[in-house]
């Protein structure tokens, strides 16, 4: 299950160095976008073509905290299941994305993202019995974003925000995620018109939808329990007082596990809801872009530090419509 797939589902670069101070170039035909583009060019700035289509591959590995678990069995209501204690979950996600974009103003671009990928989450349960399980799922993600960008004499800055909605297997509701990132860098001209090499560093903050609900077959997410493990869960249930709101869900869950162990309920499934939080919201970024000319761009970026690491590789084609 993607933690957001998050997410992520889906970190995409803005046009690094999209506005930079250059010596005046020979006049060329331009379309209507970006608005005010002619005034910016007359001031000695070079703008890239306003339309772009980017294809990228994204990988992310992150730590996630799971809290406020609720379980429902036999079509019953969801009940407090915090008798189960979790360690940090580790989520790994990959996605292939297509991102069309348009530069509305010299300093402002908008884009959309369509991506499809898969994720796996290693969940550590520490009580009432200890084990690690892996849940795998696929996801389709749609994102909308905006980019503020500017530069002078090769130096540039980028601020990017996007909001995503993910449709994840085995989760009944759509998941939301927000991503805010900042980048500062420098672009080196390499000679031929439009050819350049840019480097940057920055930071990225990711907030995923905290409420997740769905239904899952126990065999898809748990190893087959031994009788000793079932007994440990039942012992934990017996320790809970009769007025403890967790007792009923604990007893129902223990009975479901017992039926699975005895083979009387081989298709055992439960409904659930839980809250997920990134262990750390922020991490660092570093990346590079090679512009072969005014149309073709190739990018690499890595995320590191904190509890989240990521890698992105992409190719973008930019063009104008006269």
Q: Name which residue leads in pLDDT, 121 or 181.
A: 181
Give 227-267 pLDDT, tens digit per residue. 898 999 999 999 999 899 999 999 999 988 888 887 776 66
127 vs 71, 181, 217, 304, CA distance in Å? 16, 37, 20, 31
pLDDT band at 217 (very low <50, low <70, confident <90, very high): confident
Arithmetic mean of pLDDT over the chain: 84
Judge: domain 20-67+86-212+275-319, CATH 1.10.1740.
Answer: no
The full DSSP string for 200-236 is EEEEEEEEE--EEEEEEEHHHHSPPPPHHHHHHHHHH
Most confident of 79-93, 270-284, 293-307: 293-307
Q: Quote the tokens at residue 13.
A: 């670069």
How do residues 70-98 score in pLDDT, each as one tens digit? 998 877 789 999 989 988 889 899 999 99
Strand partners, 155: 152, 186
Per-residue pLDDT of 108-165, as tens digits, reads 999 999 999 998 888 888 888 888 888 788 889 999 999 999 888 889 999 999 999 8
Q: What's the pLDDT at 1?
A: 36
Buried b (16+ CB within 10 A) or exposed e, 151-174: beebebbbebebebebebbbbeee
Tell me the whole-structure pTM to 2 decimals: 0.80
Range ranked top by mean pLDDT from 135-149, 203-217, 308-322: 308-322
Does residue 199 have a cis peptide bond before it, meaning omega lies within 30 degrees of 0? no
Could you tell me the pLDDT band of residue 15, with boundaries at 50, 70 and 90?
A: very low
Angle at which helices 247-262 and 227-239 cross, to 10°: 160
Which helix (H) or strand (E) element contains residue 243? none
Domain ranges of the chain: 20-67+86-212+275-319
């Amino acid at each position: 299950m993607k933690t957001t797939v998050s997410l992520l589902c889906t970190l995409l670069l803005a046009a690094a160095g999209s506005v930079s101070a250059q010596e005046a170039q020979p006049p060329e035909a331009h379309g209507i976008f970006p608005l005010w583009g002619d005034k910016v060019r007359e001031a000695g700035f070079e703008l890239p073509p306003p339309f772009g289509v980017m294809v990228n591959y994204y990988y992310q590995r992150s730590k996630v905290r799971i809290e406020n678990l609720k379980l429902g069995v036999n079509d019953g209501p969801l009940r407090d299941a915090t008798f189960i204690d979790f360690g940090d979950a580790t989520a790994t996600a990959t996605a292939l994305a297509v991102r069309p974009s348009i530069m509305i103003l010299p300093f402002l671009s908008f884009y959309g993202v369509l991506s499809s990928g898969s994720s796996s989450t290693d969940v550590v349960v520490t009580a009432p019995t200890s084990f690690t399980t892996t849940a795998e799922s696929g996801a389709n993600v749609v994102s909308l974003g905006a980019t503020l960008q500017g530069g002078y004499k090769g130096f540039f800055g980028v601020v990017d925000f996007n909001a995503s909605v993910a449709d994840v297997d085995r989760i009944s509701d759509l998941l939301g995620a927000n991503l805010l990132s900042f980048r500062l860098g420098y672009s080196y001209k390499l000679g031929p018109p439009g050819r350049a090499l840019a480097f940057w560093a920055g930071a990225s903050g990711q907030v995923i939808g905290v409420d997740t609900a769905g239904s899952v077959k126990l065999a898809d997410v748990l190893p087959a329990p031994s009788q000793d493990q079932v007994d440990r869960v039942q012992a934990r249930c017996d320790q809970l007082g009769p007025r403890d709101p967790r007792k009923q869900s604990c007893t129902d869950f223990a009975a479901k596990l017992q039926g699975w162990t005895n083979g009387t309920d081989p298709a055992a499934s439960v409904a659930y809801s839980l809250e997920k939080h990134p262990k750390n919201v922020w991490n660092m970024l570093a990346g590079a872009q090679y512009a072969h000319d005014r149309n073709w761009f190739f990018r690499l970026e890595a995320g590191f530090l904190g509890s989240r690491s990521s890698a992105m590789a992409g190719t973008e084609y930019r063009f104008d419509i006269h």
